[in-house]
Amino acid sequence: MGYSAEVLKRARLQLESNNTEMQARAAMRLHQAYNQIPRLKEIDGQLRRTMVLAAQAAFAKGDEAHAIMEKAKQANMALQQERKALADTHFGPGYFEQDQLCDNCGGSGYIGSTMCHCLEEICRQEQKKEVSLLSCGQNRFADFRLDFYPDHNAPDTNVSIRAVMTQNLKFCKEYAENFPPAEKNLLFTGDTGLGKTFLSACIAAEVTDRGYSVAYESAPTLFGWLEKARFSNNPEEKVQADEQCQKYNSCDLLIIDDLGTELSGQFVTAALYALINDRLLADKATIISTNLGNDALQSRYSAPILSRLRGNFRRVIFLGEDIRVSKNKGTLR
C-alpha cells in the first residue's frame, strides 16, 4: 500500500509534531516529579554518572575493565529500581513509561526500513482528509438514497430503474469491502446527476478506511497536472506536478471523475492512454466515471483507449432522472 509523497510528507510532519508534544509533556512531568520528590533528581544525576563510569571501562584493560563495568552495572540497576519504586509509590505505576510515543519504534515512524503502524495510521488519516476534500465530502454508502430512483422500467427495457440502482449500490459496497477485488477496473456511465460521483466517493472513503492509498481527481484537474508535468518551465510547479503524477501511477486505487469534461486534444489522448495502460500493466485498480455514451466516447477517444475501456473495465450503468434537477423541482426531498 503506497502513499503519495505529499501524504507521507504531511504524516511525517504530524509525527514530528506529536513527538515534540510528547517530549514537552514528559519534560513537564519530570519537572513536577523533581519538585515533589527531590530524590528523583538526585537519582537521575547518579544514573548519568554510572553511564560515564561505563564509558571509562572502554579505555581500561583486562580485569580492571570488567570490574569498572560490573560496578557501573550494579549501581545502575539499584538506582533504576529505586527510581521506579519512588515513581510507582507517589505517582502510580508506569508514570515515566508514558514518555514514548510508540513502543515499537520509539516515535521514529520506522522499524529498520519498514514503516511502523503508528506512521501508517497517520498516513491513513491524512489520506482520508485528502480524499474527503477532493470528493466534496465523506460520502458513505448508508447515505445513498434509493428512493431517489423511480420504481418503474427504464425506457425500452423491462428493467426497473430502482432495481438497477439497488444492484449498483450492492456491487459498489462489495467492491470496496473486498478491495482489491477480482474485477479491479470500473467504468461508471450514465447521464448527469445519477449518483456516479457519490458512489465513487463512497468507494474512496471505504477503501481509504481500509488502509489503501486512493487518488480521487476530476478529469480536468488530472490532465492539468499531467500537462504541467510534461510542459511546465516553472521548476517548483514541475516538482509539484511530478509528485501528483507519481501519485496517479502508484496509488492502489485511482478514481477519475467526469471523464469527457476535460479539453480534448492529442496530449489528453496520449496521456489518458499511457495512464490507463500503465495501471493495467501494474495491476492497479482504476474507476472512471463519465456522462458520455458509447458514440460520444468513440468520437472523442482513440481506438486503443476504447479497447481497454471495453476489454478491461466492468461497465456500471446508472439510470434515472437528474437528482439535482428533481430536488430543485420539489419532487424529491
What dihedral angle (degrees, nearest 10) is formed by the CA atoms of 28, 30, 34, 36? 70
| Residue 17: φ, ψ to 5° | -65, -40
- Where does the pLDDT of residue 132 fall: very low under 50, low under 70, confident under 90, or very high at 90 and above? low
176 assigned to some structural domain: yes
Q: Are 314 and 183 in contact (CB under 8 A)?
A: yes
pLDDT digits over 34-50, tens only? 999 999 999 989 888 88
Q: What's the whole-number average pLDDT of the chain?
A: 85
Where does a domain end: 79, 112, 145? Answer: 112
The DSSP output letter for 153 is: B
235 assigned to some structural domain: yes
Specify the higher pLDDT residue, 149 or 7: 149
| 192/276 same-domain check | yes
CA-based nearest residue to 51, from 69, 67, 64, 65? 69
| 10/80 same-domain check | yes
126 assigned to some structural domain: no
Where does a domain end: 112, 143, 176? Answer: 112
Residue 125 has pLDDT above 80, yes or no: no
Q: Are 10 and 117 in contact (CB under 8 A)?
A: no
pLDDT digits over 153-175, tens only? 887 778 899 999 999 999 999 99
105 assigned to some structural domain: yes
* DSSP letters spanning 322-333: -HHHHHHHTS--
Say what the pLDDT of residue 169 is.
Answer: 96
| 23/73 same-domain check | yes
CATH number of the structural domain spanning residue 253? 3.40.50.300
| 255/107 same-domain check | no
- Where does the pLDDT of residue 247 fall: very low under 50, low under 70, confident under 90, or very high at 90 and above? confident
| 176/99 same-domain check | no
Q: Are strands 114-115 and 110-111 parallel, antiparallel or unpaired?
A: antiparallel
Handedness of CA 52, 55, 59, 65 (dihedral sign): positive
Query: Grid coordinates representing 151?
Result: 420504481
Say what the pLDDT of residue 329 is.
Answer: 57
The DSSP output letter for 320 is: S
Number of domains observed in the structure of the chain: 2
| 228/99 same-domain check | no
257 assigned to some structural domain: yes
| 314/173 same-domain check | yes
- The pTM of the full predicted model, rounded to 2 decimals, is 0.66
| 160/66 same-domain check | no
| 207/82 same-domain check | no
| 176/94 same-domain check | no
| 285/179 same-domain check | yes
250 assigned to some structural domain: yes
184 assigned to some structural domain: yes
240 to 130, 228, 278: CA distances (angstroms): 16, 9, 21
| 196/287 same-domain check | yes
Range of the structural domain that residue 106 is part of: 5-112
| Bridge partners for 186 per DSSP | 287, 314
Residue 180: is the preceding peptide bond cis (ω within 30°)?
A: yes
* Separation of alpha carbons 244 and 226, rounded Å: 8
| Bridge partners for 289 per DSSP | 188
57 assigned to some structural domain: yes
